Structure 1
Amino acid sequence: MALYSEVFPPDFGLSKGALPVRVIPRRSGRPTMPGRFPTKKGTLDSLRGETNLEMDGFGHFEVNPRCRLMAAQPHRLHFEEHVPGRGTKIRTYVPDLAIRMDDGRVAVVDFKLAKYAMLPKWKARADVLTRCYADRGAVFSTVTSDVLRIEPRASNVRVMLQRRPWHMDAEAEAAVDAAIAILGLPATVAAIAAKAALSQPHPHTDRAFSRIVEMAILGLVTLELDKRLGPGTVVGSAPARAPLP
């Protein structure tokens, strides 16, 4: 049980220009290279990550519209922990990330490989950290690799769409649906786009193509992916519409 805890700095390190409290070396003994993650939501212009998993995690929250501000290695939590048979020990913990949400709440995150997050030692430590941060009105969470690296990729896209607004193009939706009704399936992306005859407000974009990909994500059609995705890709009928998870 945590008997005492203190956070320094008291604002959890979530102020513009705040520096990390722990410096990550250029090289470490881990089989992964540290790196920097450019961000528009950071207390600095980039976040320093010790592992690829951490930088994947930074991206996970960068696209989350509820995240307003984030900082890596942002503060130190000092806490007194009771150790059975050994009395109490003063521990120091530096989280991977702190986040200020759009409702003003603070979330503190540790990124862990799923296999390590399941270890009893970490579960016990996470329970202590959860109580310590709750005492200060913050939420502590372990975000694991199986959340950040969902496969297949269609599942990744679904997770991404939960964190950013879906761009609705009602005209493209109606035009592509009508084109498919006329042509029938299977048909190529190029044939459907030609029949839809949509205007393109920006170069290098195709509203019909975007709608077809959205339909594939939703399980309304299938895409032939044994070749590079493009105008010649064959669009097929979905065997059954699966509900989104």
Structure 2
Amino acid sequence: MISKANAARLRKMFSENHEPAMVVGKKRYHPTLPVPFPTTKAPKGLIRARLPLMADGLTHLDTDPRVVAISPYPLAAHYWATGDPEKPEKREHVPHVAIEMRDQTVVFIDYIPLTRQKLEPWIARRTRDLKAHFREQFERDYIVLDERHLWVEPRFSNVKLMWQHKSRVGEPPSLITARAAVRAARLPATIDQIWRNAGSPRLGFRWEGEASAIELRQANPIFTAVMQLAMRGELRLDLGQPLSMSSVVRRIEHDDNGFRPF
């Protein structure tokens, strides 16, 4: 049974007033190339990823509709290190993130490059110790992810593409109309079919004082709307195939809450 104190720590991790248990410095003060990652799923709207691999992991989390909240460097875990079974030592570790799912499941995650895991075999022992710690103290899971989980293609290219189409402040009002058209479409259908049935809309811009608009041929509001609605969990796309105008869009038929490491 989780203690009241640890239950309170879990709740606080995802609150607005949560302060990360570790501060990652800017690039010139830090050897592992920190990457600023904007996300509305974190309380402060920005996560400073300790390394590029972590930023890749955050891209997966930010586009996954099952993940509703991300807590960067959520807490300092004081666990028993069992390198010497005769003399276990108390050590401290701050996971890279904790995530909360739609069903309130919480998972702690570290992102560690595979080469480092091979060069430093003690990481596997620490992983076992941390798994035991988070299960015993918090009744929650702890996992380590690396390139084998994050860089699987075409999924990785797909989630990066989806992330580029995220809703942002100042996006054109025409995207509201595009999302309404996608929601009203008869599915399953390809993105191209939805686009044509909606009248083949395009995005464009007009300079102040100009009479006509300039069409942005590389920007398709229906494609963007589909990406956004998929990230919201309203639609399903097959991320096992490269995303394109030929991708088939389906409605969500059941609620899939289970978190899997890709």
| TM-score grouping bracket, smaller chain normalisation | 0.5 to 0.7
Q: Percent identity?
A: 19
Partner of 2:37: 37
Unaligned runs of 5+ in 1: 1-5, 178-192, 224-245
Q: Which amino acid aligns with 1:10?
A: R
Compared CA separation, residues 102 and 161, structure 1 to 2 (3 A): farther
Aligned-partner SS, 2:65: coil
The normalised TM-score by structure 1 is 0.62
Give the deviation of 1:29 after TM superposition. 5.1
Aligned-partner SS, 2:57: helix
User: Aligned partners of 2:191, 2:45: CA distance in 1, in Å?
Assistant: 42
Compared CA separation, residues 103 and 86, structure 1 to 2 (3 A): same
Give the deviation of 1:145 after TM superposition. 2.0
Contact 2:81 2:126 (8 Å CA) reproduced: no
Partner of 2:207: none
Compared CA separation, residues 150 and 104, structure 1 to 2 (3 A): same
Aligned-partner SS, 1:56: helix
Q: Which amino acid aligns with 1:37?
A: F
Compared CA separation, residues 137 and 200, structure 1 to 2 (3 A): same
Alignment map for 1:73-152 (pairs within 5 Å): 73-84=73-84, 87-118=87-118, 119-135=120-136, 136-151=138-153
> What CA deviation, in whole Å up to 9, does each residue of 1:152-194 have, x standing for no partner?
xx34346679999xx78558948978xxxxxxxxxxxxxxx9x
User: Aligned partners of 2:16, 2:155: CA distance in 1, in Å?
Assistant: 34
Contact 1:41 1:70 (8 Å CA) reproduced: yes
User: Aligned partners of 1:38, 1:159: CA distance in 2, in Å?
Assistant: 15
> What CA deviation, in whole Å up to 9, does each residue of 1:25-83 have, x standing for no partner?
223452x4223211111021111212111122111101111111111111000122344
Contact 2:95 2:109 (8 Å CA) reproduced: yes
> What CA deviation, in whole Å up to 9, does each residue of 1:190-219 have, x standing for no partner?
xxx9xx7861245342769x99xx99x748
Q: Which amino acid aligns with 2:117?
A: A
Aligned-partner SS, 2:13: coil
Q: Which has the higher contact order (CA 8 A, sep 6+)?
A: 2
Give the deviation of 1:125 after TM superposition. 0.9
Partner of 2:69: 69
- Say whether 1:20 aligns with 2:15: no
Aligned-partner SS, 1:123: helix
Contact 2:111 2:146 (8 Å CA) reproduced: yes
Q: Which amino acid aligns with 1:148?
A: L
Compared CA separation, residues 8 and 29, structure 1 to 2 (3 A): farther
Q: Which amino acid aligns with 1:142?
A: V
Aligned-partner SS, 2:60: helix
Q: Which of 188, 209, 220 pairs up with 1:205? A: 220
The normalised TM-score by structure 2 is 0.59
Q: Which amino acid aligns with 2:39?
A: T
Q: Which amino acid aligns with 2:34?
A: P
CA RMSD in angstroms, aligned pairs only:
4.3
Unaligned runs of 5+ in 2: 167-181, 204-218, 227-236, 247-262
Larger Rg: 1
Q: Which amino acid aligns with 2:88?
A: T
More strand by percentage: 1
Contact 1:117 1:142 (8 Å CA) reproduced: no
